[in-house]
Chains A and B, each alone.
Chain A
Amino acid sequence: MIVVILFAIIALFPILWVALSSFKPQSELFRIPMRIFPEQWTLENYAEALLRGSFQIYFRNTVFVSVISTIITVIISIMAGYALGKYVFPGRNFMFTLMLCTLMIPLQVIMIPIFLQLKRFGLLNSLWGIIIPPAATPTGVFLARQYMTTIPDSLIEAARIDGGGEWFVFRKIIIPLSKPIIATIAIFSFMWRWNDYLWPLIVISKSDKQTIQQALAGFVGQLQVNWSNLLAMTTITILPIIIVFLALQNFFMQGISAGAVKG
């Protein structure tokens, strides 16, 4: 038990450090001897960060992108996972393997071709450009597929015998049973889109379409780092994902169980 508590402290400490440091005035950040708690609690870092006005825009953009992309990701991943997990058809294994293989490609290599491709489709400088392309995530499809293989075929057969078409089966049987994996994919997708930096860097060149992560990175200059703003905004940025995770935690565990473990 003590071991667990010790590890828990190690797990939380760095984050707490960042959060506490965000309440220190700039002059306190680089003092020896170090203090964990601020000598002088101040909200000036937050005020400066929030009042920059654009912060609200970035926050709104990031929320919009994360939510919409998550919805799309869940829908298409479940559909694809169902197809790959519950049907036998030519090309099935090939496509699945192909998707998994692309996980191995570092995004940096294909940045410029992706940029050109997005330009062709008019998705540059549009939030849709960071919503749609990353929605086709191989991990999401992988998890969905694994989960689908745990759904008994008998249920599907029974629904068909009752006269339901394929779409009926999907809507009435599969989706309700998939709640756990939906939650799992939703949490992952939300987190990936929320923390996405490389995609917005490629796609967005207009200030009003930027996301929070881009704004955070902007505080790191050529010669110095704007620590006060960076720490405050980082702390604010961490909160939503933690909230989303805590809210969906139970479903999440179930989904991982069936999605990653069985099958």
Chain B
Amino acid sequence: MTEFKKGTRQFWIPYLFLLPNLLIFVLFVIIPAVQGLAMSFTDWSVFSKPNFIGFANFKELFADEVFLTTFRNTLVYSILTVCALVVVSLGLALLLFHNTIKGVKAFRAIFYIPSLLSMITVGIAWRFILGDEMGIVNFLIRSCGGKGVQWLTSGKLAMLSVILVSVWTYAGYYMIIFISGLQTIPVELYEAAYVDGASRWYSFKSITLPLLSPTTLVVSILATINAFKAYELILTMTKGGPGYATKFIVQQVYEVAFLEDRMGYASAMSIILMLMIGVITLIQFKGSRGEGENE
């Protein structure tokens, strides 16, 4: 780490390196973001002038049943999806991190590819698969004499389907991150444990998991942020239905802003969303640090 003294010409060097990124960032992200979020204190219909109403939007939010439902849905979806993602991608990584397995590169690529697709594509593909009447899965079930499952038509199952598809899409992405993490654990540790007669489960619990925890933290934070912002995938698959079962905050923000024409109210929702993400991220940070200190 280099630190330059204030007052020297060199002091400005890090700022110069930072400048191009910062300039674009401030001009096209920060300034609009501040303007957008400031709207949350106004009542603004897109074609009229905003007028200041203080915290009224927030007060209304806490009594807004639809918003509270989307809030709850987003929370449930995010927590379940992140947990499932961590488990599945770690599992896949454990199966595929030895570089000696035949065709391992091909398998890794196969699992990674779903995350490269645009959400519209994913939504379309899975609608064809999980549709009640027109879906492949139900078709197979019915051919075997069973009754079709209401994957996208029943409230609880729709949420499950959406979680499953999200896991399908991103497991490969996080798997790659876990693989890199696993490959940094010195092999000698496992060898030593083996010599000591430790079972595979024991090695996993006391070597792999702790040494993997920085990686796990990165994965869970990235996964959490992405889960809270979920929009296009859900929209293409279920449109937020049935009813409100899979309607999440971002979809509600969009509808309130553009269909009900209440940009200020939508902004207030976004602030709540951001606070939610911030709080959970902080909890995850604290949680991991706490573990680290106990080592």
- Is there any pair of Cβ atoms, one from A and one from B, under 8 angstroms apart in the complex? yes
Q: Which residues of A contact B (CB under 8 A)?
A: 3-4, 7-8, 10-15, 17-18, 21, 30, 32-34, 36, 75-77, 79-80, 82-84, 86-89, 92, 95, 98-99, 101-106, 108-110, 112-114, 116-118, 121, 132-133, 135-136, 141, 153, 156, 166, 170, 191, 195, 197, 213, 216-217, 230-231, 234, 237-238, 241-242, 245-246, 249, 252-253, 256-257, 260-262
Shortest CB-to-CB span from A159 to chain B, Å, is: 12
Which residues of B are found within 8 Å of A262, using beta-carbon distances?
A: 184, 214
User: CA–CA, A255 to B25, complex, Å?
Assistant: 24
User: CA–CA, A156 to B1, complex, Å?
Assistant: 9
Which residues of A are found within 8 Å of B3, using beta-carbon distances?
A: 87-89
Closest to A99 in B: B25
User: CA–CA, A225 to B71, complex, Å?
Assistant: 31
- Looking at B2, B3, B46, B184, the one whose CB has the most chain A CB atoms below 10 A away is B2
User: CA–CA, A13 to B113, complex, Å?
Assistant: 11
Q: What would 20 A/B residue contacts be, using CB atoms closer than 8 Å?
A: A7-B111, A11-B114, A11-B172, A14-B125, A32-B139, A33-B139, A34-B136, A80-B21, A87-B2, A87-B14, A88-B1, A99-B25, A104-B274, A108-B250, A109-B37, A109-B253, A110-B33, A113-B32, A136-B22, A230-B124
Shortest CB-to-CB span from A213 to chain B, Å, is: 6
Query: When A33-B139, A109-B266, A261-B180 are in contact, do A83 and B33 touch as well, CB less than 8 Å?
Result: no
Contact B110 A12 (CB under 8 A): yes
Query: When A89-B14, A195-B118, A238-B116 are in contact, do A136 and B28 touch as well, CB less than 8 Å?
Result: yes
Shortest CB-to-CB span from A81 to chain B, Å, is: 9
Shortest CB-to-CB span from A247 to chain B, Å, is: 11
Contact A108 B253 (CB under 8 A): yes
Shortest CB-to-CB span from A39 to chain B, Å, is: 16
Which residues of B are found within 8 Å of A191, using beta-carbon distances?
A: 116
Contact A11 B125 (CB under 8 A): no
Shortest CB-to-CB span from A94 to chain B, Å, is: 12
Interface status of B149 (Cβ within 8 A of chain A): no
Closest to A9 in B: B110
Which of B59-67, B77-85, B202-210, B224-232 lies at the binding interface?
B224-232
Contact B1 A11 (CB under 8 A): no
Closest to A34 in B: B139
User: CA–CA, A10 to B114, complex, Å?
Assistant: 10
Closest to B269 in A: A109
Q: Which of A10, A95, A252 contacts B168 (CB 8 A)?
A: A10
Chain B interface residue count, CB cutoff 8 Å, equals 83
Which label, helix, strand, loop or mixed, suits the secondary structure of the A interface? helix
**Assuming A87-B3, A102-B29, A261-B181, what are 11 further A-B pairs, CB within 8 angstroms?**
A13-B129, A14-B128, A82-B17, A102-B33, A104-B278, A116-B32, A132-B24, A216-B120, A245-B113, A260-B180, A261-B180
Contact A95 B139 (CB under 8 A): no
User: CA–CA, A95 to B29, complex, Å?
Assistant: 13
Contact B11 A89 (CB under 8 A): yes
Which residues of A are found within 8 Å of B27, using beta-carbon distances?
A: 117, 121, 133
Interface status of B288 (Cβ within 8 A of chain A): no
Query: When A105-B33, A108-B254, A114-B28 are in contact, do A261 and B168 touch as well, CB less than 8 Å?
Result: no
Interface status of B186 (Cβ within 8 A of chain A): no
User: CA–CA, A114 to B28, complex, Å?
Assistant: 6
Shortest CB-to-CB span from B129 to chain A, Å, is: 6
Which residues of A are found within 8 Å of B2, using beta-carbon distances?
A: 86-88, 153, 156
Interface status of B13 (Cβ within 8 A of chain A): yes
User: CA–CA, A89 to B8, complex, Å?
Assistant: 13
Contact A117 B32 (CB under 8 A): yes
Interface status of B15 (Cβ within 8 A of chain A): yes
Interface status of B220 (Cβ within 8 A of chain A): no
Query: When A33-B139, A118-B28 are in contact, do A95 and B250 touch as well, CB less than 8 Å?
Result: no
Interface status of B121 (Cβ within 8 A of chain A): yes
Interface set, chain B 67-105, CB cutoff 8 A to A: 92, 95-96, 105
User: CA–CA, A92 to B18, complex, Å?
Assistant: 10
Which residues of B are found within 8 Å of A10, using beta-carbon distances?
A: 168
User: CA–CA, A77 to B228, complex, Å?
Assistant: 25
User: CA–CA, A18 to B127, complex, Å?
Assistant: 11
Which residues of A are found within 8 Å of B24, using beta-carbon distances?
A: 76, 132-133, 135-136
User: CA–CA, A133 to B21, complex, Å?
Assistant: 10
Closest to A258 in B: B180
Query: When A79-B18, A166-B10 are in contact, do A11 and B168 touch as well, CB less than 8 Å?
Result: yes
Which residues of B are found within 8 Å of A136, using beta-carbon distances?
A: 21-22, 24-25, 28-29
Mark each residue of chain B from 34 to 54: 1 if its CB lies under 8 Å from any CB of chain A, else 0.
Answer: 011100000000100000000
Interface status of B192 (Cβ within 8 A of chain A): no
User: CA–CA, A114 to B35, complex, Å?
Assistant: 9
Interface status of B134 (Cβ within 8 A of chain A): yes
Which residues of B are found within 8 Å of A99, using beta-carbon distances?
A: 25
Contact B1 A113 (CB under 8 A): no
